[in-house]
Structures are given as C-alpha cells and as structure tokens.
C-alpha cells in the first residue's frame, strides 16, 4: 500500500468513526422515543382503560350528548393500541363515534394515529410530545363527501387518572380553539366496543 492509499484509508476510517457515534445517538434517541411511547400506551390501558369526560358545556350543540367514553386496548408488545370513543345520553350508551389505532412510527420517530367514523370520515396523523411535555396530535381528515380538514389535539397529563386537553381547527393557516375536556379514568365501565 503506497502513501496515498494509506492516507485515503486513514481518512475513510476517520469519517466512518465520526459517523458511528451519530448513528448510535440516533438509535438511542429512537429507542428512548419508543420506550416513552410504550409507557404512554401502558398508562392509557391500565386499570381497565376506560376514560370518561363530561360534555355539559357542549350538550346543546351535540344534540343532548351528556358525556363521552373512550377505551384503549394495547396490542401485544406495547408499540400499538386500538380503541374507540362513544357518546352517552342520560343513562344510555350509544354506538361508538370513532374507532382508532395508534402505533409507533420508526421512520418519523413518533406515534402514528388513524381513526375512522361509522359515517366514513377518517383521519391520519402523528402524535408527539413537545418540549413542555404537552402531547400534540395533528391529523388530516377526509369525510365521505371528499372534504378535507385538519384537527389538532393537545393533551396534558394531570395525574395518572386525569388528562386535560383541547381540540383546534386549522383555519386560514392557524389553529383555532374548538373545545376543551377533562378526561378521567373510570375503571369497571362497560364499553360498547
């Protein structure tokens, strides 16, 4: 091996060694994100995985819907969960309004969200945790008529049994507040899904 080849080899080895720590850091960050996601899924599904919120502020708008229930069920391995959201009117539990699926997206390094309504509206997007610990989910929805719209949900964990959040509509290039709710874990409820 001549001197020129030795220098080229040394440069190549140096470049590879510079790249290896970067790849290792990226892998550690991805693994940390995945483990945080697994912990989130575990917290959502523990103690019966039933969540409840009052709809009293919006009952007139929503045709007498007093409350909503939500259920999560982990997929084996803890990297995904499925669930549903249903309406409650008085003592009557109505059919689910939304079925949803959440899973870790290893390319985006955040959770992927997909949901669909019985009427054919579906939404797809991602969920991330911002620098303040706020869960932020942004989804693009398409309804059965072909209309497209964007919705954002922000959720803050108050404690292991309480979450507060709000939804926002994307209008003219900005997020406009829509509704806010406090979700409370209700073990033992009988979900319709």
Residue 22 domain-assigned (yes or no) = no
What is the per-residue pLDDT across 63-82, written as a single tens digit (0 to 9) for each?
Answer: 899 999 999 888 888 889 99
Residue 20 domain-assigned (yes or no) = no
Residue 129 domain-assigned (yes or no) = yes
Residue 26 domain-assigned (yes or no) = no
Number of domains in the chain: 1
Residue 136 domain-assigned (yes or no) = yes
CATH number, domain containing residue 109 = 2.40.128.20
Q: Where are the beta strands (DSSP E) in 34-144?
A: 50-54, 67-74, 80-89, 92-105, 110-116, 122-129, 135-142
What is the per-residue pLDDT across 3-61, written as a single tens digit (0 to 9) for each?
Answer: 444 444 344 344 344 443 434 434 444 567 888 888 888 888 876 678 999 999 998 89
Range of the domain at 108: 42-185
Q: Give the residue among 166, 162, 159 at the shortest CA–CA distance from 183.
A: 162
What pTM, to 2 d.p., does this model score?
0.78
Work out the mean pLDDT of the chain and round it to a whole number: 83
Residue 37 domain-assigned (yes or no) = no
């Amino acid at each position: 091996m001549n001197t020129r080849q030795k220098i080229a080899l040394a440069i190549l080895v140096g470049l590879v060694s510079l790249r290896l720590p970067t790849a290792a850091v990226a892998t550690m960050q991805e693994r940390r994100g995945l483990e945080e996601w697994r912990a989130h899924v575990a917290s959502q599904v523990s103690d019966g995985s039933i969540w409840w919120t009052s709809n009293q502020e919006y009952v007139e708008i929503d045709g007498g819907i007093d409350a909503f229930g939500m259920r999560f069920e982990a997929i084996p391995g803890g990297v995904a969960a499925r669930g549903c959201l249903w309406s409650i009117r008085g003592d009557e539990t109505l059919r689910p309004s939304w079925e949803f699926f959440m899973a870790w997206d290893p390319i985006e390094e955040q959770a992927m969200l997909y949901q669909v309504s019985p009427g054919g509206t579906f939404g797809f997007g991602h969920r991330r945790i911002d620098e303040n610990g706020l869960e932020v989910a942004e989804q693009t929805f398409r309804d059965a008529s072909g209309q497209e719209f964007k919705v954002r949900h922000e959720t803050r964990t108050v404690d292991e049994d309480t979450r507060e959040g709000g939804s926002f509509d994307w209008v003219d290039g900005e997020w406009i507040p829509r509704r806010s709710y406090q979700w409370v874990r209700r073990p033992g409820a009988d979900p319709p899904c």
